[in-house]
Amino acid sequence: MRRTLSALCRNEPGVLAQMALECGKYGTNILSLAAGKTENPEISRIVLCVEGDGAAIDKIGQYLESLEAIIQLDDLSRKNFVDRELVMVKVAMDRANTGQLMQIFEVFRANVVGMGSETVTVELSGDQERVDGLIKMLKPYGIKSMCRSGMIALKRGDE
């Protein structure tokens, strides 16, 4: 089972480590982890995408809610939410494939952020399907390096 948890927490040392340790304790795999300050610099939002047994994930949620540093915990998997991820990909480029790569970048609305004599680096922000789609299209050209930010997410609407 895959779940997305979003925690508003006090911006204190050790909160992220406690979350990761709790996931390990229950044998839950962390697929993605993103953390950053909110509109209030004293509060951070941590978005944790996990995969594992549903009962174990429920126990992790209960533990996290009991932490003094956690202000609010939402299981976004049970709500309507919007998510985004940032990826940067460095792909092999030569005269023969430049036009094809540029067409792929245009279709996905990826931005070129760096060019070398043998590679081009692009960035893309989107949902996981869009990011996965770009990566799939670029693999045949030779991905030299890649970095994904991990998912960030917020509930949709006025909540």
Q: pLDDT tens-digit profile of 40-92?
A: 999 999 999 999 888 999 999 999 999 999 999 999 988 889 999 999 999 99
Which part of the chain has CATH 3.30.70.260?
2-79
Q: Which residues contact 134 (CB under 8 A, 6 or more apart)?
A: 87, 89, 104, 108, 110, 122, 124
3-state secondary structure of 127: coil
Q: Is the dihedral of CA 24, 22, 10, 151 positive or negative?
A: positive
Q: Which CATH architecture has domain 2-79?
A: 2-Layer Sandwich (3.30)
d(CA 108, CA 116): 21
CA atoms of 5 and 35, how far apart (whole Å):
12
Contact status, residue 7 vs residue 46, Cβ threshold 8 Å: yes
Given a contact cutoff of 8 angstroms between Cβ atoms, the answer to whether 58 and 73 are in contact is no
Cα of 104 vs its chain's centroid, Å: 22
**pTM (two decimals):** 0.83
Distance CA 8, CA 88 (A): 27
Residue 13: phi and psi, rounded to 5, are -65, 140
The C-alpha atoms of residue 65 and residue 1 are separated, in whole angstroms, by 20
Angle of CA points 32, 35, 36, to nearest 5°: 150
Q: Which CATH class is domain 82-155?
A: alpha beta
Q: Cβ distance 84 to 151 under 8 Å? A: yes
Kindly provide the residue ranges of all beta strands, DSSP E only, lying in 11-148, ordered along the sequence.
29-37, 43-51, 70-75, 81-92, 111-115, 119-126, 143-148
In the chain, CATH 3.30.70.1150 sits at: 82-155
Digit-coded pLDDT (tens) for 92-142: 999 999 999 999 999 999 999 999 999 999 999 999 999 999 999 999 999
| Confidence at residue 99, expressed as pLDDT on a 0 to 100 scale | 95
